[in-house]
Structure 1
Amino acid sequence: MTAAGEDMGAPVVPVMRYRDLPAAIDWLCTAFGFERHRVTTDRNGAILFAQLTFGNAMVMLGPVRQSAFDRFLKQPDQVGGAETQVCYFFVPDAHAHCSRARSAGAEIVFDVVDRVNGGRSYTCRDPEGHLWNFGTYNPWRPRSGAPAPPRRAHPKRAARGAAMALAGVLVGAAACLAGVRALPQAARSGLLLPQPPSGEPALEAELAREREARRAAERAAGEARRRLSEARAEAQASARGADAARAELAQAKSAAQAAVRDAAELRRHLAAARSEKEAAEQAAKAARSDLARAWARASAAERAAAQVRRSLARERNARAGLGAEASRPPPWE
């Protein structure tokens, strides 16, 4: 880094999103030792974004929104706790820093362990699921005299690399051999090859050695071609396996989406059935109420009719009694 870069801090600044931004700022400062560099608020005091520093490193924090840019981002709890990137910070004492984070409530995913680079590190999650990595390995510190750690190549890549290297060596050897054979005998004897003794046996021996060298080169080239063909076949098989896995994953996603749609459709049907049942129950209740009122009206009508019949009977009886009195002869007759 240049002097200006050191004064201004690291030029790479990670950006993290949080649903509860004020709580995240307080927690990161308490658990990890971040310091508030800048906190920007609106007129109502709501935090728009914040800049926290950790030594000469910085992270920017923002809220989870529904902007066009936010549509390309997911929170860990939306993708099963996965992360596509992780922030690493150098600390002098990994054990002490891990204890501090644990005391603040951090979920320790990987406890402090020794690494092949000579440092110690641990990994944890914050309350909203983001992964953080802290360790004693300082990538900016030069390691004078320390050899680079060996890299173990993938078997298939190693086979392909060895085949290609062997093919290159054989092609070079064949070109050299062709060049040697194209030279005159004097040039080959005086410049490139030790001068053989004169005579026919020496010439035949030289020709025999050339033929044997050519056969050996052809055998080596054939072996290289065979190995290269095997490496290509393995790579094609791996590609086919990856394609099959992607196809199965796509089918599984389609099945899951169909299951979600079916479940939503069933829920809609169930809600409609419940609504219909409630409507039927209300209609039955109303019908029972109407029937009860009808029975009450019918009973009242029957009682009124009985009262009328009794009144008519009394009136008839009274009229009949008056007629009998009228037909009776007077006492003087």
Structure 2
Amino acid sequence: MAEASSAIPPGLYPYLTVKGGKAAVDFYARAFGAVEEFRAYGQDNERIMHARLRVNGFALLLSDYFEEFHGGAPAPTPTGVTIHLEVDDADAWWKRATDAGATIVMPLADQFWGDRYGQLKDPYGHSWSIGAPVKK
């Protein structure tokens, strides 16, 4: 991992909170080809306070859940958001993700709207979709 700043340009970025940040970074590298650009640890030097990954050319931000910053409350279960990956080869991306341990929610298939599309859940409860135009 190259030296990098935690600063990112203005924009809108998905920010995942997980229990087990180190394992999550490894999973996203195996499943989605994520490249880690930055990592900073909390005061315990164990949990990730902030990490920036690059997936398919775009930034994905991540941190461990810190119960002490939330009154000791357990980490909430992720809901309501799906991170979509528009890719060049849906089958290749799908295989890599499922081989890494992603769970199939909606099987990858040619859809009526013209995309090859499916949905997965990662081991941390986050929803992902993978899509690409149907190859003719």
Which residue pairs with 1:166 in the alignment? none
Whether the 8 Å contact between 1:10 and 1:58 is mirrored in structure 2 is no
Structure 2 counterpart of 1:87, which letter? Answer: I
Report the equivalent of 1:64.
65
If each structure's strand is expressed as a fraction of its own residues, which one has the higher value? 2
What is the alpha-carbon distance in structure 2 between the residues aligned to residue 69 and residue 122 of structure 1?
Answer: 37
1:117 Cα deviation after fit: 3.4
Q: 1:91 to 1:117 in 2, by over 3 A?
A: same
Instruction: Return the letter of the residue paired with 2:13.
Output: V
Shift of residue 13, structure 1, vs aligned partner: 0.3
How far has the Cα of 1:121 moved from its partner? Answer: 1.3
Matches within 5 A, 1:1-333: 11-42=11-42, 45-46=45-46, 47-66=48-67, 67-68=69-70, 74-76=76-78, 83-137=79-133
Return the offset for 1:87.
0.7
Cα pair 2:18 2:24 within 8 Å, conserved: yes
What SS does the aligned partner of 2:80 have?
Answer: coil
CA 1:106–1:84: 2 relative to 1, 3 Å: same
**Could you say what the CA RMSD is over the residues aligned between the two structures, in angstroms?**
2.5
Unpaired runs of at least 5, structure 2: 1-7
What letter corresponds to residue 45 of structure 1 in structure 2?
N
TM-score (norm 1): 0.34
Cα offset for 1:132? 0.8
Distance 2:22 2:110 in 1: 35
Give the number of the structure with larger relative contact order, counting CA–CA contacts within 8 Å between residues 6 or more apart.
Answer: 2
State the identity %. 26
Task: Give the secondary structure class of the aligned counterpart of 2:49.
Answer: strand
Larger Rg: 1
Q: Tell me, in whole angstroms, the C-alpha distance in 1 between the residues paired with 2:89 and 2:118.
A: 11
How far apart are the structure 1 equivalents of 2:108 and 2:22? 29
Secondary structure at the residue paired with 2:26? helix
Listed one character per residue, the Cα deviations across residues 57-104 of structure 1 (whole Å, up to 9, x for unaligned) are 211111112324996x7214xxxxxx2111111111111111111111
Q: What is the rounded CA distance, in whole Å, between the counterparts of 1:84 and 1:57 in structure 2? A: 21
Output the CA distance in 2 between the equivalents of 1:9 and 1:62.
Answer: 19
- Would you say the 8 A contact 1:90–1:134 is kept in 2? yes
Give the distance between the partners of 1:92 and 1:69, measured in 2 at CA.
Answer: 44
State the distance in 1 between where 2:71 and 2:12 align. 19
Deviations 1:130-182 (A, max 9, x none): 11111115xxxxxxxxxxxxxxxxxxxxxxxxxxxxxxxxxxxxxxxxxxxxx
Deviations 1:179-212 (A, max 9, x none): xxxxxxxxxxxxxxxxxxxxxxxxxxxxxxxxxx
TM-score between the two structures when normalised by the length of structure 2: 0.77
Shift of 1:9: 7.3
Hey, which of these two has a bigger chunk of helix by percent?
1
